[in-house]
């Protein structure tokens, strides 16, 4: 009797968790709807700003216009945007927006896997659902914000895994596309000594990249123009900005520019102190997630040019932490509070009266609330006088470390 070989048994692939499947479907629907608006001519995204700067860059023309608007990034960003700029406009716009979403999802998924390995699908699904209402604003505009966020989160995930070279590359690449990410590069340099040499080398490479231009003297001169542009745009004055200073001004508490600068500097020092304590006392995965939440909050509150779409960053990170509350800590109340916070970021679409009454101050207030949650819930407290020498935060950390290790 001839025995036929039996086919090898393969475990079926794990199906997508329901929140993740729903989240992906809703984001895909939003993406298609946005592209339909762009194709029909009913909406023009920010894509043309990047494309025009790239075209000017390779012609050797000025890429920084006068005033506070226009191209506000490093010369490296104009060079890096080349693959999208020279595509047909509609195709370039579509592929650029798809690239933003793909990189953001990649970084967000890795953040979720840090805190909930094995349950990352459900956690990431919660993050996608929570971030969708406000996130579509940034996706519609096709700004570099989501790209920056995804690279920052992926870089911090590499830090947690000890992949120092790639972590440095991703963090510096985020800054090369959008200079606000250089704040995280500076923080990472202070927090993780094994990262410092790699950060310095990649940062030098990013700054030298524009000098590969066919006219190096022109490229070098553009750095001088960048300084001029930054000095004028860093104080945009009145307008629909959602940072702490403009929020206070809306409420009748205007601050002098020098006072704002001091507050921003002190806030940066506070973030450094909180992050240093976090990195020294928590497991690497949770420390990286906490640093991400602290940095996102800082950039929203203290970047003088924070706009509505930027809050999609906070919503994605807050949604990931909500999923962590639901599925790791089993605290459904806090999970729902974070989800509701994300939905509260959409007051601009509820009614016109509510939008006018809350513009510029309400969203910074929500960012303050999220930052307070991160400090209380994620940053380790000082040790108490327990016999074991550990405070409750330290004990919670040990329990979560067991979950992280599976």
| Tokens 């959602």 -> residue | 242
Distance CA 278, CA 128 (A): 26
Q: Coil, strand or helix: which one is 282?
A: coil
The phi-psi region of residue 87 (left if phi > 0; otherwise alpha if psi is between -120 and 50; otherwise beta) is beta
* Residue with the larger pLDDT of the pair 400 and 190: 190
Q: Whole-angstrom Cα distance, residue 375 to residue 389?
A: 21
Residue 150: phi, psi to the nearest 5? -60, -45
Instruction: Kindly report the average pLDDT of the chain as a whole number.
Output: 88
Angle, in degrees to the nearest 10, between helices 362-377 and 284-302: 160
278 phi and psi, to 5 degrees? Answer: -65, -50
CA-CA distance, 177 to 84, in Å (whole number)?
Answer: 13
Distance CA 338, CA 319 (A): 7
Mean pLDDT, range 186-205, rounded to an integer = 97
Residues in the chain: 406
Return the number of other C-beta atoms located less than 10 Å from residue 281's C-beta.
18
* DSSP 8-state assignment for residue 368: H
pLDDT (mean) for 382-401:
43
Instruction: Using the predicted structure, report yes or no on whether residue 90 has a pLDDT greater than 60.
Output: yes
- Backbone φ and ψ of 387, nearest 5°: -55, -35
Other beta carbons within 10 Å of 194: 12
The DSSP call for residue 41 is T
Cα gap 347→177, rounded to integer Å: 30
How large is the average pLDDT for residues 332-345? Answer: 95
pLDDT (tens digit per residue) in 55-85? 999 999 999 988 778 888 999 999 999 999 9
pLDDT tier, 406 (very low <50, low <70, confident <90, very high otherwise): very low
> Token pair for residue 332?
């459904």
Side-chain-side CA neighbours of 378 within 13 Å: the count stands at 31
- pLDDT at residue 251 tops 50: yes
pLDDT tens column, 12-53 = 455 677 889 999 999 999 999 999 999 888 888 889 999 999
Please name the helix (run of DSSP H) or strand (run of DSSP E) that holds residue 20, with its range, or none.
Answer: helix 18-40
Question: What is the longest distance spanned by two Cα atoms in the chain?
Answer: 93
Token pair 């990262």: residue: 195
Q: Which residue has the tokens 């962590």?
A: 324
Better pLDDT: 305 or 390: 305
d(CA 133, CA 122): 19
pLDDT of amino acid 372: 96
Q: Among 143-157, 160-174, 236-250, whose mean pLDDT is lowest?
A: 236-250
Q: Degrees (nearest 5) of the Cα angle 306, 247, 292?
A: 45
CB 138 within 8 A of CB 27: no
- At 13 the pLDDT is 52
Residue 180 has pLDDT above 70, yes or no: yes
Q: Which pLDDT band, with edges at 50, 70 and 90, does 262 fall under?
A: very high
Structure tokens at 298: 């800082």
With contact defined as beta carbons under 8 Å apart, do 171 and 151 qualify? yes
The SS3 assignment for 291 reads: helix
Chain segment 268-322, per-residue pLDDT in tens: 999 999 999 999 999 999 999 999 999 999 999 999 889 888 999 999 999 999 9
DSSP H stretches of helix in 143-243: 145-160, 164-177, 182-191, 196-208, 216-233
């Amino acid at each position: 009797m001839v025995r036929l070989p039996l086919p090898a048994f393969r475990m079926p692939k794990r199906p997508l968790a329901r929140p993740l499947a729903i989240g992906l479907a809703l984001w895909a629907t939003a993406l298609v709807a946005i592209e339909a608006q762009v194709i029909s001519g009913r909406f023009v995204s920010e894509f043309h700003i990047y494309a025009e700067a790239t075209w000017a860059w390779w012609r050797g023309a000025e890429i920084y216009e006068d005033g506070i608007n226009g191209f506000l990034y490093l010369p490296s960003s104009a060079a890096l945007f080349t693959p999208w700029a020279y595509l047909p406009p509609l195709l370039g716009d579509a592929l650029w927006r798809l690239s933003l979403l793909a990189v953001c999802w990649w970084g967000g998924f890795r953040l979720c896997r840090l805190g909930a390995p094995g349950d990352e699908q459900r956690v990431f699904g919660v993050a996608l659902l929570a971030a969708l209402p406000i996130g579509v604003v940034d996706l519609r505009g096709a700004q570099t914000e989501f790209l920056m966020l995804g690279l920052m989160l992926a870089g911090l995930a590499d830090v947690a895994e000890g992949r120092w070279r790639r972590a440095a590359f991703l963090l510096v690449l985020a800054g090369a596309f959008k200079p606000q990410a250089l704040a995280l590069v500076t923080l990472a340099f202070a927090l993780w000594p094994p990262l410092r040499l790699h950060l310095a080398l990649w940062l030098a490479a990013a700054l030298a990249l524009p000098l590969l231009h066919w006219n190096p003297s022109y490229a070098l001169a553009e750095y001088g123009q960048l300084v001029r542009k930054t000095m004028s745009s860093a104080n945009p004055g009145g307008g629909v900005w959602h940072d702490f200073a403009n929020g206070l001004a809306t409420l009748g508490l205007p601050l002098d520019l020098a006072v704002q600068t001091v507050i921003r500097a002190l806030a940066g020092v506070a973030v450094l102190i909180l992050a240093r304590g976090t990195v020294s006392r928590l497991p690497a995965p949770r420390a990286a997630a906490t640093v991400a939440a602290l940095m996102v909050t800082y950039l929203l509150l203290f970047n003088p040019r924070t706009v509505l779409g930027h809050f999609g960053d906070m919503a994605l990170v807050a949604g990931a932490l909500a999923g962590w509350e639901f599925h790791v800590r089993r605290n459904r109340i806090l999970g729902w509070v974070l989800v509701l916070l994300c939905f509260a970021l959409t007051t601009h679409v509820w009614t016109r009266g509510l939008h006018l009454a809350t513009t510029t101050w309400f969203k910074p207030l929500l960012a303050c609330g999220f930052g307070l949650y991160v400090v209380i819930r994620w940053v380790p407290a000082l040790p108490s006088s327990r016999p074991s020498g550990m405070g409750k935060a330290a004990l919670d950390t040990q329990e979560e470390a067991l979950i992280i290790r599976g």
